[in-house]
Chain A
């Protein structure tokens, strides 16, 4: 089921009404049933995979923390900070590690089978052909289940946290099932940690009108970003990337449009997810913090897809040694982390190159002296980082490597007058649609009172001027949704990952 459908709105209203009429335990059961229904709406076999992931990780975590041998440490006192797992007796530790590996292998195996099988089979066949061997190119005709990259990572983080002693293993399967399948963020994140979301699943929740109010603003803002901004500029990007030999200016106008599209699209999903979750009494983390106002690569990754970048930081970069083992090892760790992150996005070489590109930017940024980073003024640094990010988006969007190489070598000198004018037109059109996004981000960046989302949902007094402003904004956004919604309704981009 997709958010921008009347099916979903009906589903949301019915589920919500039932949800607040039930006690906690029944609420969690309802959430699981609703989430499986949401996920299996179009493809009824997808929930089977979701259940398999949930069951394996639930069971692995339980087995990991089963009572220690006589005289061993108790389950509750099994270490907290150690990255290598709590200090346990040899056999106990081996068993924990074995169950951790069962969880990791099953999650990555599922992901690998559905997402990467074709990629590896195709590349092995191509490599074989290059060597003169005939290797059959086996193609799986199976649809990639939406959100599989997100929920396997979220579920896996639970078993890793249990292994590390950061979270206790849960005994109630329904709570783990609700944690893994919680439908608002199931398909495109944000990826929540067990330490954050599981306690929310387990504790009693109360309906809050103030939270619902701010949730509504978030949802309307999310729909506006998706249907008015992302889908309209997405049409421009799609047209440009359908060209065989685009002009330099047309190409970069298309890249600009794609930069707006992917941010508006992905952050829209997050905002709708956060808003919907709030109506159910849950708080999901912010996934974007005005990323196009970043002043450098490190700053960018603190603001873009925060839940995924912190996941890779905590479960890949830091276990590799982070920055603790010298500058060379640190550079290698950054590159490995970003290569894996790029590959996570899709089974295609352009994503790997995109990851490598961002890894390289970060490595170079670490070499630049701190004083030099502050030169040039804020606007210059923001524009510079946006330009670097846009080069990355070209790599990300262009799946044909030959075409990518040709496009990277395009020269403005070879451009025609029509190419220049067309590029300017497309750039201005994408810019026009994205004005609300820039205004919002600049407003928030410079400390304006938040008009979208909760700042003080539980404050005793209602701040009426802000509410009035929000009501007018929601009305205007709704009017724009009705009149400017793109006739080409595109899927959320991150559904593909």
Chain B
């Protein structure tokens, strides 16, 4: 009987203690300098890109009155120079392609609110459908350039969202085994090994699996996939939106949130489910109640299909037209 119990203990001990060897492997391998993460609840110490002080300085030099923040949806719609001319204000764009809301939040906090800017009057955020309240996850390292040494609000939110009630267990496991550090070198090693050359990997990513090679999603499938998450009251408090609004109010900066129109069909605006419509209505009520300016491009007759290049992106001419129309349509925000 004792032997059987001991054999069970041996298996459990092997399972739990052998992976501690990862620490020794990490320590023995040469690598980039490791720093504490600004998200200690969800990441172990790892090499990181430094905060982009040059960008912060550049913003400070311009002393903008309005900042436009977002991913390619913002970048492909608003030309900051053109908007500056049209509104007779100083406008800059803080764009990062494919960036999550967490990036916008940090850019707003660290490059605008806490960057000794004296003249900022407004921040304009562009977003797609439910992006403001549902897109919380971030890839390791993707926020490095806009993050300071500590980002407690983002850390708390990500820990709650990603790890739920067991964030303490996750944190303890990360600290004990340091598996994130092993993963940083091991995963790329495995993925590169069969390729032979980096050029092939590059070609696979950019040519074989290019966006235009993928099947078109059916609208119905897309709607069904999103509808389940479209619950504003349930998601807003788990998102960064309240923190963005709080920061802006604290710094006396007006905020505008612009929901972009997804690619329309030849017959008109893209279909949106009842759930999405309700979500958009709820979001509008929420933002206006919190003193923000809100606009929804959905169904705008001035955004026909001919303005679009690919996906939800506009053409170069479309960008000029959109910026012009934006300045006219939302002139009151720039007063």
Contact = CB atoms under 8 A, between A and B. Distances in A.
Interface of A: 6-7, 10, 208-210, 212-213, 216-217, 220, 239, 242-245, 247, 250, 403, 418-419, 421-422, 424-426, 428-429, 431-433, 461-462, 464, 467-468, 470-479, 482-484
Contacts of A213: 4, 7-8, 11
B7 A418 contact: no
B335 interface: no
B34 interface: no
A209 B164 contact: no
Contacts of B18: 471-472, 474-476, 478-479
A473 B19 CA distance: 11
B329 interface: no
A403 B214 CA distance: 13
Closest 7 CB pairs of A and B: A475-B18, A471-B14, A428-B194, A482-B179, A209-B4, A479-B19, A6-B166
B15 A429 contact: no
A474 B14 contact: yes
B317 interface: no
Interface stretch (B53-61, B89-97, B118-126, B201-209): B201-209
Contacts of A217: 11
A424 B5 CA distance: 48
A483 B194 contact: no
A180 B276 CA distance: 39
A475 B214 contact: no
Contacts of B7: 209-210, 213, 462, 464, 467
Interface in B35-73: none
Given A209-B4, A216-B11, A217-B11, 9 more contacts: A6-B169, A242-B209, A244-B214, A418-B203, A474-B11, A474-B18, A478-B16, A479-B21, A483-B179
Interface in B14-32: 14-19, 21-22
Contacts of A426: 204
B182 interface: yes
A209 B11 contact: no
Interface in B176-215: 177, 179, 182-183, 186-187, 190-191, 193-196, 200-201, 203-204, 207-209, 213-215
Contacts of A421: 200, 203
Interface of B: 1, 3-8, 10-19, 21-22, 164-166, 169-170, 173, 177, 179, 182-183, 186-187, 190-191, 193-196, 200-201, 203-204, 207-209, 213-216
A432 B179 contact: no
A258 to B, nearest CB: 16
Specify the main secondary structure of chain B where it touches its partner: helix
Contact of B15 (A208, A209, A478): A478
Contacts of A247: 208
Contacts of A468: 10
B215 A6 contact: no
Contact of A243 (B6, B21, B209): B209
A482 B213 contact: no
Contacts of B215: 242-244, 403
A483 B186 contact: yes
Q: Give the dominant DSSP class at A's interface.
A: helix
7 contacts: A212-B8, A425-B195, A429-B191, A471-B18, A472-B14, A479-B22, A482-B19
A475 B4 contact: no
B166 to A, nearest CB: 4
Contacts of B195: 425
A366 to B, nearest CB: 39
Nearest to B193: A432
Given A209-B7, A484-B183, A475 B173 contact: no
Q: Identify the interface centre among B10, B15, B18, B194: most chain A CB within 10 Å of its CB.
A: B15
Contacts of B187: 483-484
Contact of A208 (B4, B12, B190, B204): B4
B183 A475 contact: no
B19 A475 contact: yes
Contacts of A461: 3
Nearest to B182: A483
A462 B213 contact: no
A471 B207 CA distance: 44
A425 B214 contact: no
A317 B47 CA distance: 61
B214 A242 contact: yes
A216 B194 contact: no
Contacts of B19: 475, 478-479, 482
Nearest to B215: A244
Nearest to B170: A6
Nearest to A208: B4
A419 to B, nearest CB: 8
A400 B329 CA distance: 44
Contact of A209 (B5, B14, B200, B209): B5
B222 to A, nearest CB: 13
Contacts of A243: 208-209, 213-215
Given A425-B204, A483-B182, A483-B183, A462 B15 contact: no
Given A432-B193, A472-B18, A422 B166 contact: no
Contact of A244 (B165, B193, B213): B213
With most chain B CB atoms within 10 A of its CB, the pick from A464, A479, A484 is A479
A483 B186 CA distance: 8
B31 to A, nearest CB: 15
Contacts of A242: 209, 214-215
Contact of A467 (B10, B21, B207): B10
A471 B13 contact: yes
Contacts of B204: 422, 425-426
Nearest to A468: B10
A405 to B, nearest CB: 15
Contacts of A419: 208
Contacts of A244: 213-216
A10 B166 contact: yes
B208 A422 contact: yes
B15 A418 contact: no
Contacts of B190: 429, 432-433, 484
Nearest to B177: A482
A129 to B, nearest CB: 17
Contacts of A462: 3-4, 6-7
Contacts of B173: 482
Contacts of A484: 183, 186-187, 190
Nearest to B204: A422
A418 B204 CA distance: 8
A236 to B, nearest CB: 10
Contacts of A208: 4
Nearest to A219: B15
Nearest to A403: B215
A431 B193 CA distance: 12
B26 to A, nearest CB: 10
B169 to A, nearest CB: 6
